[in-house]
């Protein structure tokens, strides 16, 4: 059972379905013009633009690919988009100002960070009910879920902690101090580590999930750039756990990190204010949202070279790729 | 808001404290969710020494709110406590007020006697100097959250005084960079007759020299003690300001240096020739703007508005930042020992996030907080300085204000 869950979780964390380079729909939330842009991952062209609620940021998709969930931050709701029709078919109670969320590996629960109220809200997707509200630190933002679904990690931006929450009891079990303004938490596919980016601190803390301690701190240096301009945000780790990609915000680059040695191996220049990342299901591409250039960049994960940038809406924030 | 009693070492009180301060919607959750990882309580007292008396302003909108600064400190105390509950640390604010001209040594001694060792000073430069050395003798750290006087960071600098308020020269340089970027290089300088006005005018003169602007003419507006904000006053002003700005040489912008609010706010829209106004009126440089939403700013703005019922002003941000600095240092050093906290703040690893798009650090030659300066008018943020292209070998933020090679500060 546990094995199955793990497998399922790995697919959720990084959908890795077989098949030669099928076209998948890429969904990009555009914070400033209240739209979601749909891009074909094979042709790398915009297919359509969907109108959504105000200030769309966090975005994710159900495992069957039927529904996209978008945090409409200024509407205090999570909208549900039917991927077949492109219509908004419902909403979930999110608590105030939802920014980022994560879907449980079984696809049944949504864990939402409510920035304004220092809470993590747990939603049962089927019944659309709030199951729990968990008080966390100031300005909760990043949300990560362990592959076994037993632990969620929330980062609070002013408190500068990663809060480990038991998903059975909905209680905080550990608080780990990280660097300034932690924005994103990402588990390794084997659940051994959680990587937490600190936007203002300029680092990624690697937290051992068993010890719940910071065991490594990854720093970034780019020639010609001041350290203040390097602001790590989104993180994605490959399914084999060997390589990580870190979006570096106003440094306009994605860092490629060896996830076994923690060495930065490469910086890929993409666009301005790189925010979030998503793999295509075959793992062959990773896509970055470039907020200030109003585009997304497809990167080839074999060569770690950018392939193409595609103009989307205004201030692209989050990105998710349909699993099918 | 004066709290003199010490806090009992119990979690019960900790939650009681939250009941007092935490916003209502999260109350139940806060109180009913015991945190397994909470440690035994560590109390951290933060003092707020304030010189206050009601101030006049030319526009009623510019009259400082009664709780200016203190409100920012309170919001930061809440933030520190939300963090502190995970570590068993609780923070309290001890506010003491005196008159701006008063001898504050006695009240300061009372704060020391109550155990305050981290003290926000929202007082005049003169008052601050009257307690700085006394603070040091007692192992107390001061955070200057109000005074913009460059002298406090230069010839009168102290090793135990940290400055979260920007200096006049930082503000003037930030404004000047924007004006020069706009190619508005010919300035007229209108300045008031009070000390602060003259110091602000000095800072603008220095900025003009540094960034390649020219002051084509200066005019002094003498304060003759006429009534502000009266009906007849407005009629007078409408005639007076054009005359005051008549026959000036060709200029791009009018710089007003009137911290005392005697005439400056009357200058915009009333100049003889139609020119933009900047300085202490019109386009103003400040450490914060009530409309700043960039870099996560809307989060602190929402939090502040919810807690206080008004928008956040510069002094609120300066006080918020100071209290957060103490909170950050206590969190990281896991203790409230003033020496350890001071050492941590002075260490190379220290930085603080304050919604300005980059980490803020202290200048280690005078303990002034490096910070971007917001350039805005009464309505919104127009720009943020340093402007692109103003380069520096160490930090672009050091293009604002007195830099290390020019400093007169000798820390002991």
**Is B395 within 8 Å of A226 when comparing Cβ atoms?**
yes
pLDDT in tens, B278-300: 999 999 999 999 999 989 898 99
Contact between residue B311 and residue B304 where contact means Cβ atoms under 8 Å apart: yes
**Is B359 within 8 Å of A202 when comparing Cβ atoms?**
yes
**How confident is residue A115, by pLDDT bands cut at 50, 70 and 90?**
confident
**Best to test chain A binding among B82, B354, B355 (most A CBs inside 10 Å):** B82
Q: Are residues B28 and B60 in the same domain?
A: yes
Task: State residue B4's pLDDT score.
Answer: 39
Task: State residue A206's pLDDT score.
Answer: 98
Q: Are residues B211 and B274 in the same domain?
A: yes
Residue B360 in tokens: 């803020």
Domain-located, residue B389: no
Task: State residue A203's pLDDT score.
Answer: 96
pLDDT for A96 beyond 90? no
**Is B359 within 8 Å of A228 when comparing Cβ atoms?**
yes
**How confident is residue B5, by pLDDT bands cut at 50, 70 and 90?**
very low
Which residues in chain B have Cβ-Cβ distances shorter than 8 Å to A198? Answer: none
Task: State residue A165's pLDDT score.
Answer: 97
Q: How far is B305 from chain A (nearest CA, A)?
A: 11
Task: State residue B225's pLDDT score.
Answer: 72
Burial (CB < 10 A; 0-12, 13-18, 19+), residue B53, is exposed
Q: How far is B5 from chain A (nearest CA, A)?
A: 27
Q: Are residues B132 and B253 in the same domain?
A: no
Domain count, chain A: 1
Report the Cα B199 to chain-centroid distance in Å: 17
DSSP letters, B203-268, are HHHHHHHHHT-EEEEEEEE----PPSS-HHHHHHHHHHHHHHTTTPPS-SEEEEE-TT-SSGGG-T
**How confident is residue A252, by pLDDT bands cut at 50, 70 and 90?**
very high
**Which residue range(s) make up the domain with A87?**
2-16+24-321
Q: Are residues B242 and B322 in the same domain?
A: no
Q: How far is B94 from chain A (nearest CA, A)?
A: 22
DSSP letters, B299-340, are HHHHHHHHHHSS---HHHHHHHHHHHHHHHHHHHHTS--HHH
pLDDT-above-90 percentage for chain A: 85
Residues 6+ apart with CB under 8 A from B326: B44, B46, B80, B91, B118, B143, B341
Residue of B nearest to A181 (CA): B353
**CA angle at residue A198 from A245 to B46, to 5 degrees?**
175
Domain-located, residue B42: yes
d(CA A78, CA A81): 10
Domain-located, residue B402: no
Q: Are residues B361 and B254 in the same domain?
A: no
Q: Are residues B112 and B126 in the same domain?
A: yes
Measured distance between the N- and C-terminal CA atoms of chain B, rounded to whole angstroms: 35
Q: Closest to B29 (Cβ–Cβ): which among A135, A180, A231?
A: A135
Domain-located, residue B331: yes
The answer to whether the peptide bond before residue B386 is cis (omega within 30 degrees of 0) is yes
CA R_g for chain B: 22
pLDDT-above-70 percentage for chain B: 88
Q: Are residues B212 and B107 in the same domain?
A: no
pLDDT in tens, A198-249: 999 999 999 999 999 999 999 999 998 888 899 999 999 999 999 999 999 9
Mean pLDDT to the nearest integer, A99-113: 94
pLDDT for A158 beyond 50? yes
ipTM over 0.90: no
Q: Are residues B238 and B97 in the same domain?
A: no
Q: Which CATH number covers residue A299?
A: 2.130.10.10
Q: Are residues B148 and B276 in the same domain?
A: no
Which of B150, B131, B149, B148 lies closest to B140 in space, CA to CA? B131
Q: Are residues B64 and B92 in the same domain?
A: yes
pLDDT for B214 beyond 60? yes
Mean pLDDT to the nearest integer, B223-245: 73
Q: Which CATH number covers residue B184?
A: 3.40.50.2300
Residue B96 in tokens: 């003491």
pLDDT in tens, A166-201: 999 999 999 999 999 999 999 999 999 999 999 999
Which residues in chain A have Cβ-Cβ distances shorter than 8 Å to B86? Answer: 137, 159, 161, 163, 172, 175
Which residues in chain B have Cβ-Cβ distances shorter than 8 Å to A96? Answer: 25
Residue of A nearest to B396 (CA): A226
**Which residue range(s) make up the domain with B131?**
11-166+289-371
**pLDDT-wise least confident of A10-24, A157-171, B323-337, B384-398:** A10-24
More confident: A2 or B245: B245
**Best to test chain A binding among B30, B358, B397 (most A CBs inside 10 Å):** B358
Task: State residue B78's pLDDT score.
Answer: 96
Task: State residue B23's pLDDT score.
Answer: 41
Q: Closest to B359 (Cβ–Cβ): which among A115, A139, A200?
A: A200
Which residues in chain A have Cβ-Cβ distances shorter than 8 Å to B351? Answer: 180, 200-201
Q: Are residues B317 and B210 in the same domain?
A: no
Domain count, chain B: 2
Q: Are residues B272 and B366 in the same domain?
A: no
More confident: B244 or B14: B244
Which residues in chain A have Cβ-Cβ distances shorter than 8 Å to B82? Answer: 118, 137-138, 159
Task: State residue A19's pLDDT score.
Answer: 45
Domain-located, residue B396: no
The contact set of A with B (CB < 8 A) is 96-97, 115-119, 133-135, 137-139, 156-161, 163, 171-175, 177, 180-181, 200-202, 226, 228-229, 231, 250
Domain-located, residue B5: no
């Amino acid at each position: 059972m546990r094995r199955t869950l793990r497998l399922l979780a790995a697919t959720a964390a990084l959908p890795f379905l077989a098949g030669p380079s099928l076209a998948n729909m890429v969904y990009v939330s555009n914070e400033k013009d209240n739209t979601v842009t749909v891009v074909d991952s094979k042709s790398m062209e915009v297919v359509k633009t969907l109108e959504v609620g105000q200030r769309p940021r966090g975005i994710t998709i159900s495992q069957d690919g039927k529904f996209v969930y978008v945090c409409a931050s200024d509407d205090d709701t999570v909208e549900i988009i039917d991927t077949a029709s492109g219509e908004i078919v419902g909403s979930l109670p999110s608590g105030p100002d939802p920014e980022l969320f994560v879907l449980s590996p079984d696809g049944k629960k949504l864990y939402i960070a409510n920035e304004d109220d220092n809470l993590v809200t747990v939603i049962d997707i089927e019944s659309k009910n709030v199951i729990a509200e968990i008080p966390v630190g100031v300005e909760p933002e990043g949300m990560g879920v362990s592959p076994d679904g037993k632990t969620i990690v929330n980062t609070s931006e002013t408190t500068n902690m990663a809060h480990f929450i038991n998903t059975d009891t909905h209680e905080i079990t550990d608080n780990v101090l990280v660097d300034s303004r932690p924005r994103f938490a990402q588990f390794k596919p084997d659940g051994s580590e959680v990587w937490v980016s600190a936007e203002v601190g300029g680092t990624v803390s690697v937290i051992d999930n068993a010890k719940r301690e910071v065991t490594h701190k990854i720093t970034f240096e780019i020639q010609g750039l001041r350290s203040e301009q390097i602001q790590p945000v989104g993180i994605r780790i490959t399914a084999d756990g060997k390589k990580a990609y870190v979006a570096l915000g106003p440094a306009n680059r994605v860092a490629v990190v060896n996830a076994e040695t923690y060495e930065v191996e490469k910086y890929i220049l993409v666009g301005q204010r790189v925010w979030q990342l998503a793999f295509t299901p075959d793992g062959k591409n990773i896509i970055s949202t470039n907020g200030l250039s109003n585009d997304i960049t497809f990167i080839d994960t074999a060569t770690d070279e950018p392939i193409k940038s595609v103009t989307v809406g205004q201030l692209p924030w989050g990105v998710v790729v349909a699993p099918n | 808001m004066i709290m003199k009693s010490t806090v009992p070492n119990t979690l019960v009180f900790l939650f009681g404290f939250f009941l007092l301060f935490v916003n209502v919607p999260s109350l139940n959750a806060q109180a009913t969710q015991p945190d397994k990882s909470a440690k035994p309580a560590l109390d951290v007292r933060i003092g707020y020494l304030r010189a206050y008396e009601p101030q006049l302003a030319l526009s009623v909108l510019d009259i400082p709110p009664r709780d200016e600064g203190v409100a920012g400190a309170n919001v930061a105390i809440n933030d520190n406590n939300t963090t502190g509950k995970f570590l068993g640390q609780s923070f309290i604010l001890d506010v003491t007020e005196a008159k701006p001209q008063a001898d504050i040594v006695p009240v300061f001694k009372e704060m020391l006697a109550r155990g305050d060792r981290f003290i926000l000073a929202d007082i005049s430069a003169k008052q601050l100097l009257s307690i700085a050395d006394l603070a040091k003798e007692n192992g107390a750290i001061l955070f200057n959250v109000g005074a913009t006087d460059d002298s406090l960071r230069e010839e009168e600098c102290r090793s135990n005084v940290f400055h979260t308020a920007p200096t006049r020269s930082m503000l003037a340089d930030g404004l000047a960079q924007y004006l020069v970027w706009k190619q508005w290089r010919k300035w007229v300088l209108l300045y008031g007759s009070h000390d602060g006005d003259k110091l602000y005018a000095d800072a603008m003169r220095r900025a003009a020299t540094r960034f390649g602007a020219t002051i084509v003419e200066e005019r002094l507006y003498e304060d003759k003690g006429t009534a502000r904000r009266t009906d007849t006053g407005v009629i007078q002003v409408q005639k007076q300001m054009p005359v005051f700005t008549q026959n000036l040489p060709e200029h791009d912008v009018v710089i007003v240096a009137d911290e005392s609010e005697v005439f400056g706010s009357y200058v915009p829209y009333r100049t003889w020739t139609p020119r933009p106004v900047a300085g202490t009126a019109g386009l103003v440089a400040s450490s914060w703007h009530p409309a700043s939403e960039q870099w996560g700013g809307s989060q602190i703005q929402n939090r502040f508005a919810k807690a206080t019922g008004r928008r956040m002003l510069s002094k609120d941000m300066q006080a918020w930042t100071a209290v957060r600095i103490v909170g950050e240092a206590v969190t990281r050093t896991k203790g409230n020992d003033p020496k350890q906290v001071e050492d941590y703040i002075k260490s190379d690893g220290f930085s603080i996030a304050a919604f300005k798009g980059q980490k803020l650090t202290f200048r280690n030659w005078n303990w002034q907080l490096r910070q971007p300066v917001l350039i805005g008018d009464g309505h919104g943020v127009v720009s943020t300085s340093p402007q692109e292209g103003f380069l520096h070998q160490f930090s672009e933020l050091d293009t604002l204000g007195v830099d290390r090679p020019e400093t007169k500060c000798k820390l002991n």
